[in-house]
Structure 1
Amino acid sequence: MTRYVLTLEDSAAFEPWREMARGALQRAIPPEAIDWRIRGGETDLFGQLAPVGDGLEALTAIPVVKTVTLRASCIALLRDMLCHSDPARFALAYRIAWRVQGNPHLLEVATDADIAKARIMVRQNREDCHKMASFVRFREEPGQHDEGQHGGRRHFLAWFEPEHHILERIAPFFARRFTDMDWMILTPRGSIRWDGKELVCGTEPCERPELDDGFGELWNTYYASTFNPARVRTKAMRREMPGRYWKNLPETRLIPQLVSGAEARVRKMAEQDLRPAPAFHERLRAREQLPVQPLPDLPETLEGLAVQIRNCTACPLHCPATQAVVGEGPATARIMVVGEQPGDQEDLAGRPFVGPAGQLLHGALEEAGVDRTALYLTNAVKHFRFRLQGRRRIHQAPDGGHVVACRPWLEQEIALVRPKLIVSLGATALKALDGPGLAMADVRGTSWTVGAGENAVQRLALAHPSWLLRLEEGPRRDIERQHFVEGLFRLRSFLDPREE
């Protein structure tokens, strides 16, 4: 059997491999007939057989016999796995591309040996990216931040030893995280450089530099002071910080000493007298104990209603939330859009629909040709309900009691704005407006009329934008978003000026 050698110049580049693989697939060359090499790198796995040619030139004499198509999901998988350092990765990637031509659904077969191996490689690449993001330590180059050399920007160096070819994948993270300084990360597999304008990934192997900016002891002091002896789990520590990274981390020489003294420090901590809680703790506890107050008489203006909503204590959600989020929009709006509750960013800003779900809504309104400033935007529940996960506030759906407590606010907003169309986004808004009798799955995308005569109000139920964000990227998400835009398109017919 004729064998072909396809040699790559870069061990991490995807596009050169893709070009060669496409040429071989078009000429129906089976995987077992190709020897993939890296120039100056891995040796020929089939050295005992005589190869023909060295690269695409060897294929030009062979006529093209078929067209090649690969789904986006397959290309994404191959791109991710080729960042791995396994010498057999190029042969595996070509074998998958070859087999996919006859079985388009191969990637869905989790038990297939090739697919399982590829996904393991992808996972290991992601773990390597996570470790690099966690364990890179920058050191400032002394004397490198004068106006003449770097325009006043400080310059930093770092050294890291990744297991795989992940530099191009991880580089944007560091550019976003450390955008205000100039830096270089040197590795045995190449380098990353950022100067505030351009992000450059090099493939030339680097040597470990001497890095000492004089802050090593200060960092060790900080690390030792924040070390919690009561939470020492040596197995977990080694799993999260494997030994191969220790030589490049200044604090690791303290770990044996800190771990060995952990038990004594825990006993000492237990013997200490209790200290009084900070003053703000007492104020927070007092706030949590505030009794639920009945709603006062509702004002006849949106401004007055907003004042009362901000002081609402009708349910326990007012305790942990930053503030109540009131409705926003013209007092004479013909359309009212009702969401579920404020999210994290809305809770901090005090305005509805400013977070990721709000950005999706604004983009969809623009696609539908609807002026967002002509709408009155509000929520069925006025305070943010969440649970803490570390430092993050994770959204929790409000329960029925929260919806009932906030219903008078929503009803008064409707009475004051007097919209001709009310759009409910999501199940909570639907429940707040129509009670538990309607199921979102049954009415999503449909409209109906409530009331009669001058009091008639058109109703429209749509999915909440946050639900769209939770869908995996792919055809279904695109279809559901298109349905969402089509639903918003109906709003245009209600935006004519009101008749006097």
Structure 2
Amino acid sequence: MHRVSLPPVGTAKAWREAARGFLAARVPPEQIIWGDHAAAPDLFGDASLPPAGGPVSVPRSFVTMAETVVWHSDPERFSRLYAFLWRLKDAPHLMTDRGDGDLAHLRQMEKNVRRCQHKMKAFVRFREIGAPDAPRRSFAAWFEPSHHTVEPTSDFFVRRFSDMDWRILTPDVSAIFEQGKLSFQEGHTKPDLPEDAGEALWITYFQNIFNPARLMVKAMQSEMPKKYWKNMPEAAFIPQMIADAPARARAMAEAAPTLPPARMAQVQAQLASHASAWDGPAEDLPKAIRACTRCPLHCHATQAVPGEGPAKADLMVVGEQPGDMEDLTGRPFVGPAGQMFDSIAAEVGLNRKAAYVTNAVKHFKFTPRGKRRIHQRPETSEIKHCRWWLDAEIAQVRPRLILAMGATAAQSLTGDGTRILARRGTVETLPDGLPVLITLHPSYLLRVPDPAVRDRATAQFRQDLLTAAGMIAQHASCSREDMPH
């Protein structure tokens, strides 16, 4: 049985050398008793180490993890590391096995140590102890870490405070930095440090950056555990700051300006520009749409294509955008998709001439490919820009029902262009109470390569047009019943 007592300073290096020797000599974990300098000697342990063996190769990721875990406060940290290393020599893949319980425990210990290092960087509070006329200023701090993190964290303080002398005193190991040289000593008792002249300024700053309206006590204590408060001068004011937070938050709300700042006026103006404010004569609306330059689509399209149909139609049909033929003729729904719509509408008794037909986007978006212009789906920004014109058309026509064909029309009208196959055949209501019947776009039926899928989708489209015709007929019937006899 071998007994190893590791020193409080240089623990990582000492453990690494001992573990390398034991592993090279093939000493199993159960024959080693690991302990630190404070552990009581074992009656049956042999303090001698095995002779150095040949080179030992282990994954670099294990070495990195071990160099952190050795600073944990768990007395079993050394034995846990070696036991896992013993397994690792025959199965290097264990370092990537997330289901391994031993590795998970070591990773948690590693995380705890790193968290303790972070707290040490955040919560060490120095006080000046040197003479005013000394060539180098000198500071000291008292800290009580949860783990043995002074040695592995000291390099941070060396880099940060290399122009002064300082010491971080703890019950375990203390770091001393004097004249540019770092050394370590065994622990100290808590010293009686002098008051700091700059402490009052720091506390004033701390109190002023505290936002009572965003106070979350549990989250604060998670980041600043109460065990550190006793050594932090500003912590003495935290309980009163928490108690005063509700009253301070109310006072802040009451003192807030009632008018929005200038930047909010700009935002509101931008939002207003997206809401249709068209109030001209109905006969001027198509001309205004054809002159539209609200988005870059007008740069390449032949022309904008406004809707057409009766000025007060009960049904408004909204498609995606003009196609190639619509772009050239300036009329909506005259291409292959429009012809399919006309054909199926006639089958179910839906009068195309009695409906107002238009598109969510008024310009043709395409990609040139030789002599052809290949349709491209509009982007969200383009749909939002064209919603200005669609709102104007809806306001003028005032339909009883809107038939939204395809994802772009659904997105423009309802704000959601997803799950069209699942939503088709359903009626959704706009904020003003106007019903919108979701259906497929005829161009989808023309693109489906599978005949069975195409036939099924065409039947669904036909059923949706039949539903629209029935809703319009029902409304007309109700209107006649309401007329005086």
TM-score (norm: length of structure 1) = 0.49
Q: Secondary structure at the match of 1:105?
A: helix
Mapped partners of 1:55, 1:90: distance in 2 = 17
Q: 1:31 to 1:90 in 2, by over 3 A?
A: same
Rg bigger for which structure? 2
2:48 equivalent in structure 1: 55
Q: 1:131 to 1:273 in 2, by over 3 A?
A: closer
2:231 equivalent in structure 1: 248
2:78 equivalent in structure 1: 90
The answer to whether structure 1 residue 144 and structure 2 residue 131 are counterparts is yes
State how many pairs are aligned: 272
Mapped partners of 1:140, 1:24: distance in 2 = 47
Contact 1:156 1:184 in 2 (8 A): yes
Paired residues for 1:89-128 under 5 Å: 89-128=77-116
Contact 2:8 2:173 in 1 (8 A): no
Say which of 13, 23, 32 aligns to 1:25.
Answer: 23
2:39 equivalent in structure 1: 42
Q: 1:10 to 1:273 in 2, by over 3 A?
A: closer
Q: Secondary structure at the match of 2:241?
A: helix
How big is the alpha-carbon RMSD for the aligned residues of Structure 1 and Structure 2?
Answer: 3.1
1:71 equivalent in structure 2: 59
Contact 1:20 1:55 in 2 (8 A): no
Contact 2:176 2:185 in 1 (8 A): no
1:220 Cα deviation after fit:
2.4
Q: Secondary structure at the match of 1:168?
A: helix
Mapped partners of 2:58, 2:222: distance in 1 = 37
Contact 1:140 1:155 in 2 (8 A): yes
Q: Secondary structure at the match of 2:110?
A: helix
Paired residues for 1:370-385 under 5 Å: none
2:445 equivalent in structure 1: none
Mapped partners of 2:65, 2:113: distance in 1 = 12
Q: Secondary structure at the match of 1:68?
A: coil
Q: Deviations over 1:188-227 (max 9, x none)?
A: 22222334633x1414102222222244333322222222
1:7 Cα deviation after fit:
2.0
In structure 1, list runs of 5 or more residues that go unmatched: 290-400, 402-500
Q: Deviations over 1:312-366 (max 9, x none)?
A: xxxxxxxxxxxxxxxxxxxxxxxxxxxxxxxxxxxxxxxxxxxxxxxxxxxxxxx
Runs of 4+, deviation exceeding 6 Å: 275-278
Contact 1:7 1:55 in 2 (8 A): no
| Amino acid aligned to 1:180 | D
Mapped partners of 2:199, 2:72: distance in 1 = 33
Contact 2:5 2:34 in 1 (8 A): yes
Q: 1:275 to 1:248 in 2, by over 3 A?
A: farther
Contact 1:171 1:201 in 2 (8 A): no
Mapped partners of 2:132, 2:72: distance in 1 = 36
| Amino acid aligned to 1:218 | L
Q: Secondary structure at the match of 1:261?
A: helix
Contact 1:138 1:157 in 2 (8 A): yes
Contact 1:5 1:54 in 2 (8 A): yes
Mapped partners of 1:247, 1:36: distance in 2 = 34
The answer to whether structure 1 residue 170 and structure 2 residue 153 are counterparts is yes
| Amino acid aligned to 1:205 | G
1:185 Cα deviation after fit:
1.3
Mapped partners of 1:188, 1:276: distance in 2 = 57
Q: 1:113 to 1:217 in 2, by over 3 A?
A: same
Say which of 8, 27, 32 aligns to 1:10.
Answer: 8
Mapped partners of 2:89, 2:75: distance in 1 = 24
1:204 equivalent in structure 2: 186
The answer to whether structure 1 residue 259 and structure 2 residue 252 are counterparts is no
1:136 Cα deviation after fit:
0.9
1:68 Cα deviation after fit:
2.4
Contact 1:12 1:82 in 2 (8 A): no
The answer to whether structure 1 residue 236 and structure 2 residue 219 are counterparts is yes
| Amino acid aligned to 2:188 | C
Mapped partners of 2:109, 2:64: distance in 1 = 13
Mapped partners of 2:150, 2:114: distance in 1 = 12
Mapped partners of 1:144, 1:261: distance in 2 = 40
Mapped partners of 1:120, 1:16: distance in 2 = 22
Mapped partners of 1:176, 1:188: distance in 2 = 24
1:139 Cα deviation after fit:
1.0
Contact 1:10 1:203 in 2 (8 A): no
1:102 Cα deviation after fit:
0.8
Q: Secondary structure at the match of 2:186?
A: coil
Q: 1:277 to 1:224 in 2, by over 3 A?
A: farther
Mapped partners of 1:273, 1:112: distance in 2 = 55
Contact 1:190 1:201 in 2 (8 A): no
In structure 2, list runs of 5 or more residues that go unmatched: 271-380, 382-485
Q: 1:168 to 1:277 in 2, by over 3 A?
A: farther
| Amino acid aligned to 2:123 | F
Q: 1:11 to 1:170 in 2, by over 3 A?
A: closer
| Amino acid aligned to 2:28 | P
2:404 equivalent in structure 1: none
Mapped partners of 1:196, 1:124: distance in 2 = 33
The 10-residue stretch of structure 1 (266-275 or 160-169) with the greater mean CA deviation from structure 2? 266-275
| Amino acid aligned to 1:38 | D
TM-score (norm: length of structure 2) = 0.51
Q: 1:76 to 1:16 in 2, by over 3 A?
A: same
Mapped partners of 1:17, 1:86: distance in 2 = 15
Paired residues for 1:173-188 under 5 Å: 173-188=156-171
Q: Deviations over 1:390-447 (max 9, x none)?
A: xxxxxxxxxxx9xxxxxxxxxxxxxxxxxxxxxxxxxxxxxxxxxxxxxxxxxxxxxx
| Amino acid aligned to 1:85 | S
| Amino acid aligned to 1:42 | A
1:67 Cα deviation after fit:
4.9
Contact 2:5 2:39 in 1 (8 A): no
1:138 Cα deviation after fit:
1.2
2:143 equivalent in structure 1: 160
Mapped partners of 1:255, 1:221: distance in 2 = 12
